[in-house]
Structure 1
Amino acid sequence: MTSSVPADGRIVVVGTGVAGATAAQTLRSEGFSGSIVLVGEESEIPYRRTAVSKGLLSGKSDITRVALKPAAHWPDIDVELLTGTTVVDVDAAARTVTLSDGEHLGYDVLVLATGGRPRTLGPDHPRIHHLRAYRDVPALYERLAAGERLLVVGGGLIGSEVASTARDHSCAVTVLEAQTRPLARLLPEAVGSVVTELHKSAGVDLYTEVTLSTLEADDTGIVAVAADGRRWAADAAVVAIGMDPAIELAERIGARIDGGVVVDEWFRTSVDGVYAIGDVATIPHAALGGWYRCEHWNSALDHGAAVARSILGTGAPFGAVPWSWSQQFGSNIQVAGWPGADDELLVRGDLDGRDFTALCRRDGRLVGAVSIGRPKDIRAVRVLIEHAPFTTDRVLLDPETDLTALSAAARQ
């Protein structure tokens, strides 16, 4: 594969999350000597977004401590960082972007790392919060006081982490989940039951199979009303019901869209000279076929490095197995691959004791794993998913099997 940009060309990266920032960093570290412009609508320099629902919301960290690099790093590597700036239009034929201040920038290559926006519910009211960026943190943090009643709508990763942080601040927390258990679409039932017990043992009032009809707010508080008539009152609410990828720029230039911006294994969109990475990208499923979109921070990091090498002609087709982690109620939950609710489960360790690795099989193939307290297992399973997915149950379930050694052999 040859480079898609001249040595003195310009690459514009839209989005200062970890995907876009890593793309810019890798382009420079891999030897690109042309112009790199990194454009982001947030006023902050690139930071670790995973800290939003953890260290930043808890008050244990601040924005300077979670920066991906110090502010001086970007000019030091000759990356033009434009914060608080939005790309409002793209002309793919002329290869120009229009910025929110009216400036037009030409490009040889455009990388869309536009991420997404949280889905909303209820009116625009200061008692109803959404949590995706640092700007969302201060107002919600003010609500995390002892005795405050917090309603969390959605029991996914963000909702669960918010509930955990709020309980650490002695808030009274109620979680409303539409499915039968938290993370029901992601985790097999036995593992989902462990997460359910994490909530309950921490004092969270968890209600499942809840379909909300209204979420109302006024100066005195909020009221959530379910379709079956049940009602919950609280001082504030956090809506954590997922995100929608920011595909508007891609749509404007006619890129193929299917749940996100469709790319090939090199992160090329259907529009010449335009790439897409991170939460917004729908990528080929190297292991199972088809396509998928991944919203994990570590995957965005991998995308950023991979797209830089693709642009420079030094990369390989992307096929990394995703992984993520979540800190909830004192437990570190790690997930590898693509686990599903209906997968066959092979459990190493003790589910009830919250010391386990649950391996997920689908059609006889290892496709994912969920672990609490065993991070080495997750690193090993990622390799097995890619290189030895048909390892037998006998080997995987044998307590004498060292998964790290097994993965090392599989890699060779």
Structure 2
Amino acid sequence: MSAEVKTKKFVVVGGGIAGVTCAEQLASQFPSDEIVLITAAPLIKAVTNFKQISRTLEDFNVEEQPISVLEEKYPNLKVVQSAVRKLQGAQHTLQTEDGREFHYDKLCICSGGRPKLLTEDNPYVLGIRDTDSAQDFQKRLSKAKRIIVVGNGGIALELVYEVEGCEVIWVIKDKAIGNTFFDGGAAQFLIPSLQADKAERAGPCKRTRYTTEDASPTYSRAGVREERSIPSTGSALGPDWHADMTLQGAQQVSHKVHVEYRCEVQMIYTSEEHLLRASGQSPETGCMPPADSGPWPVFVQLKNGKTYGCDFIVSATGVIPNTGPFLSGNSFVLAEDLGLSVDDHMRTSVANVYAAGDVCTACWETSALWQQMRLWTQARQMGWHAARCIAADVLDEPIDLDFCFELFTHITKFFNYKVVLLGKFNAQGLGQDHELLVRCSPGAEYVKVVLAEGRMVGAVLIGETDLEETFENLMLNRMDLTAYKDELLNPNIDIEDYFD
């Protein structure tokens, strides 16, 4: 039976922030054309409460919504719930797992990333990436007395702080926590929060939450349950994914975290293998018997020689661009991190195929103060810019790289502190040719400024500092601060008025 073929001018793949933003922008700009958004999940991610804080700094919430909400908002936007089976770039066709085939004029791939797990197909290793895996984590945690979290990125930072009633062993390969976002000084500022009693939440999340009946089946547009031929993951979690989840373990302990620094996982084995090791019957030669004991279902041996038993392991070691369904038979150029290489118009190496978000890698000559990080803010910015570039191509109009790519900016929250990252906040790519200015008030704020050749090129702001807009302007203006650096972080000087 031949597949049903539908010709569409614009097709977007991915129900995450990049894909939804791109599809919404195209639907607004081309109201007489039908835009198709293909997503494997029954829920899409939408930007809500968007606030433009300054020229490049933006803040927003991410909300899960049924696909019907998007279709009601944009009558010319149709959402197809199915995984992608194959892309035939030369023929401009895209096949989905449910047997449909779409012919497109312009395609934007926003399929995100998938968890980079410690090991595949191990029932005791869980990667947290989408809503289903987060709910699985919550269910497992409710019966757990100890978990091991491996990784030092955003998901790991949130987990170790939010989990209650369960001992957490946190394994990181760096010498300080949060190495992706912070230096050692900021890490020391945050460490006391790991052991301190947390303030009570302001209250439960008030926004509507949508759930699916089951993690494995998919549903047709009519709501009929269908079998899925291959597994597919949903869109990545929002920045406040845990806000209305109860991350409570099986113990009465409040908040117990132990960090293993500069360490990696050497081996994972079951309780049966643990007994063999303890009795000296381990099949591996030169392997020390485990030091930890107890009725744990799984054990982790670290490269520093320590062994811990636990109920399950959270692998939070980053993501891999989800390019799988698109590569076979197509001449995509991949970057070193295996993302689809895109230019400053978000174009891939395949004609009329664009990409945005976690699946792609920015391979243009970037601004001196910008770098790609696979974060929510950049997913939205890339999706929006990709739609503008597609429109400019169709209308044969010139377009410049969006101003948001001039300066890296990101607002988030870690350990209940507001965190703002600007520019080369960790002195990325500067080598030894830079200077750091730091101001710290324990329990209140941490401010770090990165100077290069007398000019501010980066900053980390933790707490309610109210310095983000002033520092952004100083970076964009490239002002020489050599004469002012001794007073730049003086708490008795209103820096905003000083440079007004």
Please, what TM-score do these two structures have when normalized by structure 1? 0.82
Give the aligned partner of residue 214 of structure 2. none
Give the aligned partner of residue 52 of structure 1. none
RMSD of Structure 2 on Structure 1 (CA): 3.0
The percent of aligned pairs where both chains have the same amino acid is: 24
CA shift in 2, pair 1:317/1:340, >3 Å: same
> What does 1:344-359 align with in structure 2 at a 5 Å threshold?
344-347=435-438, 349-359=439-449
What SS does the aligned partner of 1:71 have? helix
Distance, in Å, in 2 between the alignment partners of 1:135 and 1:390 is: 50
1:82 corresponds to which of 73, 76, 80: 80
In the alignment, structure 1 residue 306 sits paired with structure 2 residue 385: yes
> What does 1:332-343 align with in structure 2 at a 5 Å threshold?
332-340=418-426
Alpha-carbon deviation of 1:324? Answer: 2.9
Contact 1:376/1:404 (8 A) holds in 2: no
Give the aligned partner of residue 495 of structure 2. 402
What SS does the aligned partner of 1:164 have? helix
1:288 corresponds to which of 353, 368, 391: 368
Alpha-carbon deviation of 1:188? Answer: 2.4
Alpha-carbon deviation of 1:10? Answer: 1.3
Give the aligned partner of residue 118 of structure 1. 115
CA shift in 2, pair 1:223/1:122, >3 Å: farther
What SS does the aligned partner of 2:43 have? coil
What SS does the aligned partner of 2:68 have? coil
1:316 corresponds to which of 400, 403, 406: 400
Alpha-carbon deviation of 1:143? Answer: 3.1
Contact 2:144/2:311 (8 A) holds in 1: no
What are the Cα deviations for residues 140-178 of structure 1, in whole angstroms up to 9, with x where unaligned? 102334872121111221111011121xx3221111111
Alpha-carbon deviation of 1:389? Answer: 6.2
Contact 1:298/1:322 (8 A) holds in 2: no
Give the aligned partner of residue 3 of structure 1. none
Contact 2:333/2:348 (8 A) holds in 1: yes
1:377 corresponds to which of 436, 448, 467: 467
Distance, in Å, in 2 between the alignment partners of 1:200 and 1:10 is: 55
> What does 1:89-108 align with in structure 2 at a 5 Å threshold?
89-108=86-105
1:179 corresponds to which of 174, 177, 180: 174
More helix by share: 1
Distance, in Å, in 1 between the alignment partners of 2:78 and 2:464 is: 41
Contact 1:296/1:323 (8 A) holds in 2: no
What SS does the aligned partner of 1:46 have? strand
Alpha-carbon deviation of 1:223? Answer: 1.1
Distance, in Å, in 2 between the alignment partners of 1:345 and 1:203 is: 33
2:476 corresponds to which of 386, 392, 396: 386
What SS does the aligned partner of 1:300 have? helix
Alpha-carbon deviation of 1:405? Answer: 8.2
Distance, in Å, in 1 between the alignment partners of 2:408 and 2:156 is: 21
| Gaps in structure 1 of 5+ consecutive residues | 1-7, 50-64
Contact 1:286/1:319 (8 A) holds in 2: no
Alpha-carbon deviation of 1:12? Answer: 0.8
Q: What amino acid is the match of 1:281? A: C
Contact 1:194/1:354 (8 A) holds in 2: no
Alpha-carbon deviation of 1:403? Answer: 4.2
Q: What amino acid is the match of 1:176? A: V
> What does 1:206-355 align with in structure 2 at a 5 Å threshold?
206-217=259-270, 220-249=296-325, 251-252=327-328, 253-258=330-335, 259=337, 260-283=339-362, 284=364, 286-288=366-368, 292-313=371-392, 315-320=399-404, 321-340=407-426, 344-347=435-438, 349-355=439-445
Give the aligned partner of residue 240 of structure 2. none
